[in-house]
Amino acid sequence: MTRLSERPFPLAFVELAANAGEKVRFRRGEVIFAEGAPDDGLYIIESGKVKVGRSCADGREHLHAICGPADLLGELAAFAPGPRTSTATALTEVQAVCIDHACLRRWILTRPELADHLLCSFAMQVRCATSKLADQIFSDVPGRLAKTLLQLAQQFGVTEGACLRVDHDLTQEELAQFIGASRETVNKTLAEFTQRGWLQVQHKSVLILDAHRLARRAHRS
């Protein structure tokens, strides 16, 4: 997953995708693509939020990305078509553009700059995965949760006076799956952050009151 706003793609590609791709809509909770399913191309999210993760044989789920407007899903289709390696599920109503594999390959062959940007997106994914692995090893649950809330704030945060509202649309169970913790521990940690005056917890949303102290907690080993 890569945010187009952070990794600027050629405007011509964005316009081409909007005109040539298939407009698709998904209801909240609907699976966009499933792990192991045939690869049907690249998705560009226009509106809504999507969770991306993998499931274990015992049914446990691990989330590794939360995507929103201007994010790409399924970049691997551009270079290595095959079964999907993860499952993408709509957290809200989602509107997206789907670019099929044949069209995507055609664009890559005729527009080398697009291939360069997609390769950069893969590099960003590797860096993010490495950072997340390091957090799992070296950071405790409160640190990981604080860091995740700040990252979600960068994606979805809206300023409200001196505060920052983050409508992440995740349940506490999903937050736990995202940071590698239990729901009970996430609930306890959110209560602690609230007691300290750092944030307020609302339904699938948080209001960050003290981003500075939250950031200090995120970077404490």
CATH code, domain carrying 115: 2.60.120.10
In which element (H, E) is residue 219 found? none
Task: Report the pLDDT value the prediction gives residue 7, as an integer from 0 to 100.
Answer: 44
Domain with 145, as residue range(s), is 140-218
Task: Report the pLDDT value the prediction gives residue 80, as an integer from 0 to 100.
Answer: 74
The answer as to whether 4 is a domain residue is no
Are both 91 and 28 inside the same structural domain?
Answer: yes
Task: Report the pLDDT value the prediction gives residue 104, as an integer from 0 to 100.
Answer: 81
The answer as to whether 3 is a domain residue is no
pLDDT of 210 over the 80 cut: yes
Strand partners, 60: none
Q: What is the mean pLDDT of residues 109-128?
A: 80
Are both 25 and 92 inside the same structural domain?
Answer: yes
User: What's 197's domain CATH number?
Assistant: 1.10.10.10
Give the count of beta carbons closer than 10 Å to the beta carbon of residue 201: 14
Task: Report the pLDDT value the prediction gives residue 12, as an integer from 0 to 100.
Answer: 57
pTM: 0.86
Are both 31 and 131 inside the same structural domain?
Answer: yes
Are both 93 and 162 inside the same structural domain?
Answer: no
Are both 58 and 92 inside the same structural domain?
Answer: yes
Are both 94 and 146 inside the same structural domain?
Answer: no
Find, among 26, 30, 34, the residue nearest to 61 by Cα.
Answer: 34
Better pLDDT: 142 or 5: 142
The answer as to whether 184 is a domain residue is yes
Chain segment 12-68, per-residue pLDDT in tens = 566 667 777 889 999 999 999 999 998 888 898 989 999 999 988 777 889 999 999
In which element (H, E) is residue 44 found? strand 42-47
- 127 pLDDT band, cuts 50/70/90, is confident
Find, among 89, 42, 46, 35, the residue nearest to 68 by Cα.
Answer: 46
Are both 132 and 146 inside the same structural domain?
Answer: no
Q: What is the mean pLDDT of residues 180-185?
A: 96
**CA separation (Å) from 163 to 92, 142, 144, 207?**
24, 20, 21, 7
Better pLDDT: 90 or 113: 90
- 107 pLDDT band, cuts 50/70/90, is confident
Task: Report the pLDDT value the prediction gives residue 71, as an integer from 0 to 100.
Answer: 85
Are both 127 and 194 inside the same structural domain?
Answer: no
- The tokens describing 42, both together, are 């690249």
- Of these ranges, 13-22, 80-89, 161-170, the one predicted with the greatest mean pLDDT is 161-170
Better pLDDT: 93 or 110: 93
Are both 177 and 121 inside the same structural domain?
Answer: no
Sign of CA dihedral 67, 181, 220, 130: negative
Task: Report the pLDDT value the prediction gives residue 81, as an integer from 0 to 100.
Answer: 74
Task: Report the pLDDT value the prediction gives residue 6, as an integer from 0 to 100.
Answer: 46
The answer as to whether 20 is a domain residue is yes
Domain boundary among 136, 166, 193: 136
How many domains does one find in the chain?
A: 2
In which element (H, E) is residue 165 found? strand 163-166
Task: Give the DSSP letter of residue 39.
Answer: P
Better pLDDT: 30 or 5: 30
DSSP of 12-52, one letter per residue?
HHHHHHHHHSEEEEE-TT-EEE-TTSPP--EEEEEES-EEE
